[in-house]
């Protein structure tokens, strides 16, 4: 616009200078031309002003754009929204441990009524250590086994777990305390510490997950109820559609049928293989075969002499236990919340071979010893409506014919086969609580059957991991 005014002024100056030298008619003509030029320029200026006003109105109508970031003065505090506060550097292992620590407490108690005194409970034909945890326990009200479980990821490569058991007699024991790899790859997992062996089906499960209040007689007679040990375990899960897993173990051999002794080598070795899968949408199964070898040195065993007096024998040698197990589950369309059924059975065969000192406080006679024993159980548990289940278990043992060698006349022999029939009903108000009533006819001891009644509760506090199949 300024250049237009300058052009107009120059034209007017030229016109004025020229008018001085021109006659009057020419002067009037020039004046008319000047007026025409002024009118033309005024129109052009007005058109430019209108265009400017239109451009300003259009700019105001657009949405505001973010202002460009401006550099802050050195040392000046930045506004909170200008730059987010930097994250604190936390090691991944520490963060993982803090976020994944799981603590749970299993509270369990029971009332037991028996027709025979539990203090003299034994399983005929099976010589067991004097402190073996067998039988129905104590009469009357008592705490059952309560358990504190701690589980956490240690770092991206390991996780740890500890299960501390509180016994009714106020004793405390470490059931499990181990570390386990999480990322070896190729289906491999390594476990180190104290853990329940993976032999069989029931052995690796904690007591509060059992479908009955006690372990089967075969487990009590040949595995000391549950076999756990200190050692190493390696597991391999095959990359196949059908489940197939194999586990190998080496351990100290500290619990029955082994003994804790001062040896450098392993006192226990075990291997187990399991396979399973689904049958349609409503059925699944798992079956396996396991082998356990445990060494014993000067292991005290309760027995009796030919006239029935209690004696103590001492065994040194090895025990081989074979276990075949199978489980079949049914749930309509895979939904087990309303009704479901579980059929479970195991067969155990144990062979003890070594030497025996008969009546260690009396005759103290040494000789060879060999005995083959077996036992099985079969149980079915049916959930007939939500929260309610009923179960039946039948079981029998065969202790074979022991070979006492030179001590044949010093140790008494039993007759008959131990057996037991158990019926249970439980009510589960939620997945964290359970009430159970169980009645059993126990014929493990010679003589009349022992009728055992058990009322039991089990409560879970805190975060508890999922149980195995």
> What CA–CA distance (Å, rounded) separates 130 from 138?
16
* Whole-angstrom distance, CA of residue 347 vs CA of residue 218: 8
- Residue 393 has a CB neighbour count (10 Å cut-off) of 23
Mean pLDDT score of the chain, rounded to an integer? Answer: 86
- CA nearest neighbour of 144 among 163, 165, 119, 116: 165
In contact, 427 and 383? CB cutoff 8 Å:
no
Closest CA to 371 of 216, 215, 221, 229: 221
User: Does 299 fall in a domain?
Assistant: yes
d(CA 353, CA 294): 11
Is residue 463's pLDDT more than 90? no
Among residues of the chain, what percentage have pLDDT more than 90? 72
Computed from CA positions of residues 191, 195, 200, 201, in that sequence, does the dihedral angle turn out positive or negative? negative
34 in a domain, yes or no? no
State residue 9 phi and psi, 5-degree precision: -65, -40
**Could you tell me if residue 202 is inside a domain?**
yes
Contact 193, 176 (CB under 8 A): yes
- Tokens 């396996």 belong to 288
Q: What is the pLDDT of residue 462?
A: 87
Quote the pLDDT of residue 60. 62
CATH number of the domain residue 303 falls in? 2.40.160.10
* More confident site: 110 or 30: 110
Burial class (CB in 10 A: 0-12, 13-18, 19+), 77: exposed
Domain contains 10? no
Token output for 256: 């029955």
Which residue has tokens 């058109």?
47
Q: Does 29 map to a domain?
A: no
Rounded to two decimals, what is the model's pTM? 0.78
Please check whether residue 199 lies inside any domain of the structure: yes
Task: Please give the tally of structural domains in the chain.
Answer: 1
Residue 16 is predicted with a pLDDT of: 43
In a domain, 430, yes or no: yes
Instruction: Show the domain range for 393.
Output: 102-462
Nearest to 149 by CA among 112, 115, 103, 117: 103
């Amino acid at each position: 616009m300024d250049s237009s005014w300058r052009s107009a002024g120059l034209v007017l100056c030229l016109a004025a200078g020229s008018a001085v030298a021109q006659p009057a008619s020419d002067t009037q003509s020039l004046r008319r031309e000047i007026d025409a030029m002024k009118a033309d320029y005024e129109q052009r200026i007005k058109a430019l002003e209108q265009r400017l006003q239109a451009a300003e109105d259009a700019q105001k109508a657009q949405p505001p754009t973010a202002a460009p970031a401006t550099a802050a003065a050195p040392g000046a505090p930045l506004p909170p929204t200008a730059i987010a506060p930097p994250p604190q550097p936390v090691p991944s292992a520490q963060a993982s441990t803090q976020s994944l620590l799981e603590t749970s407490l299993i509270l369990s108690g029971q009332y037991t009524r028996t027709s025979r005194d539990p203090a003299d409970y034994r399983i005929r034909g099976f010589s067991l250590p004097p402190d073996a945890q067998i039988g129905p326990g104590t009469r009357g009200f008592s705490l059952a086994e309560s358990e504190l479980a701690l589980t956490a990821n240690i770092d991206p490569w390991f996780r740890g777990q500890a299960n501390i058991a509180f016994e009714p007699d106020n004793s405390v024991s470490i059931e499990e305390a181990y570390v386990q790899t999480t990322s070896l790859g190729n289906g491999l997992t390594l476990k180190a510490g104290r853990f329940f062996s993976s032999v069989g089906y029931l052995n690796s499960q904690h007591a509060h997950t059992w479908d009955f209040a006690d372990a089967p007689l075969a487990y009590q007679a040949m595995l000391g109820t549950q076999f756990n040990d200190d050692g190493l375990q390696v597991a391999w899960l095959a990359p196949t559609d059908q489940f197939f897993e194999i586990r190998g173990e080496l351990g100290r051999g500290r619990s029955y049928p082994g003994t804790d002794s001062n040896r450098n080598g392993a006192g226990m070795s075990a291997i187990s293989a399991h396979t399973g899968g689904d049958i349609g949408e409503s059925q699944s199964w798992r079956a396996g075969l396991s082998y356990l070898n445990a060494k014993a040195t000067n292991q005290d065993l309760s027995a009796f002499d030919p006239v029935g007096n209690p004696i103590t024998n001492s065994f040194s040698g090895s025990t081989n236990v074979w276990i075949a197990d199978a489980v079949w589950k049914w749930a309509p369309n895979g939904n087990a919340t309303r009704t479901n059924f579980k059929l479970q059975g195991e067969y155990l065969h144990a062979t003890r071979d070594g030497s025996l000192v008969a009546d260690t406080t009396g005759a103290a006679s040494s000789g060879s010893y060999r005995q083959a024993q077996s036992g099985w159980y079969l149980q079915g548990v049916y959930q007939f409506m939500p929260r309610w289940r009923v179960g039946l278990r039948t079981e029998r043992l065969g202790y074979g014919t022991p070979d006492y060698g030179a001590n044949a006349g010093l140790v008494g022999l039993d007759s008959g086969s131990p057996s037991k029939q158990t019926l249970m009903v439980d009510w589960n108000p939620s997945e964290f609580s359970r009430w159970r009533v169980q009645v059993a006819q126990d014929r493990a001891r010679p003589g009349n059957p022992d009728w055992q009644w058990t009322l039991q509760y089990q409560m879970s506090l805190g975060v508890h991991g999922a149980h195995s199949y």
